Amino acid sequence: MCVGLPMTIIETDGVSALCERRSERRLVSVLLLDRPPVGAQVLVFIDSAIRLLGAEEAGQIDNAVDGLAAACNGEDFDHLFADLINREPELPEHLRPV
């Protein structure tokens, strides 16, 4: 299974960027983005930054990944999905009927 992870750009030359997530650094392509700045959070999938992320969305993705790890280890994970507790599931806007 492949999962996109949020990473922060710490330096870039416009073609590639050195990104960091939790003390892991990785060189990724930024060719799919329009000149993302240093400090930007990006979603990295198979060593390519595929889109910019806001801080809230990056945090939700981090929580989801941590929640999956906790569930696999038999640990409590409900607190990591606080945005989903006590609400009905919703389709993404682009999948909703017109």
Domain locations in the chain as residue ranges:
5-80
Name which residue leads in pLDDT, 92 or 16: 16
Is pLDDT at 42 greater than 90 in this prediction? yes
Q: What is the pLDDT of residue 3?
A: 85
Q: What is the CATH number of domain 5-80?
A: 2.30.30.140
pTM of the model: 0.81
pLDDT > 80? residue 1: no
What's the average model confidence in pLDDT over 38-49?
Answer: 97
Mean pLDDT, residues 54-83 taken together? 93
Strands 5-12 and 16-21: antiparallel
Instruction: Give the integer Cα–Cα distance in Å for 28 and 44.
Output: 8
